[in-house]
Amino acid sequence: MPSFDVLSEADEHEVRNAVDQTAREMKTRYDFKGSKAEISLDGLEISMLADDDMRLKAVVEILKTKLAKRQVSLKLLEFDDAKPIGGDMIKQVVRVKNGLKDEELRKLTKLVKGSKIKVQPQIQGEQLRITGKKRDDLQEVIALLKEQASDLELQFSNFRD
């Protein structure tokens, strides 16, 4: 029976490269001269430190640009609020989402079931498997999810006939 998986993952290697490029650009830019601004990556959590709000916004913009150039969707980023930490420094944490959350999986399942297309959605961990008898039905579901769930970064993989 034909099937495919719906998932939402970031390429960790590309995220690491984007953070490294951001750090390198911060060292060479004139507006960061004499600044204590820095960026670091721990797993899928990016920490940014800056002297003031303006520099923090600049770091965020550089990071977004580098991620976009490396085809990492900005929909996968969850920005925390900037918090002041000691010594007149501001810290902001950005989490890179990897996998779909339970409420997102339920939303996608409800969407697929409500479409009346003859397929069966099944939640498997942090991804959704769609199974149907016809390949055309599966392609219809892909088009539906791309249109209806545009707020999520979805990838469709493991398409089997």
Q: DSSP assignment, residue 103?
A: H
CA 154 centroid distance within chain? 9
Fold of 12-96: Alpha-Beta Plaits (3.30.70)
Is 12-96 the same fold as 3-8+100-160? yes
Among 64, 75, 71, 59, smallest CA distance to 25 is for 59
Residues 12-56: pLDDT tens digits?
999 999 999 999 999 999 988 888 899 999 989 999 999 989 999
Token duo for residue 151:
């707020």
Residues 116-156: pLDDT tens digits?
889 998 998 888 999 989 888 889 899 999 998 888 888 88
Q: What angle do CA 130, 115, 127 make, to 5 degrees?
A: 30
Q: Where are the domains of the chain?
A: 3-8+100-160, 12-96
Q: How far is Cα 58 from Cα 145, in angstroms, rounded to an integer?
A: 34
Amino acid identity, position 89: M
CATH of 3-8+100-160, picked from 3.90.550.10, 3.30.70.860, 1.10.357.10, 1.10.1740.10, is 3.30.70.860
pTM of the predicted model over 0.75: yes
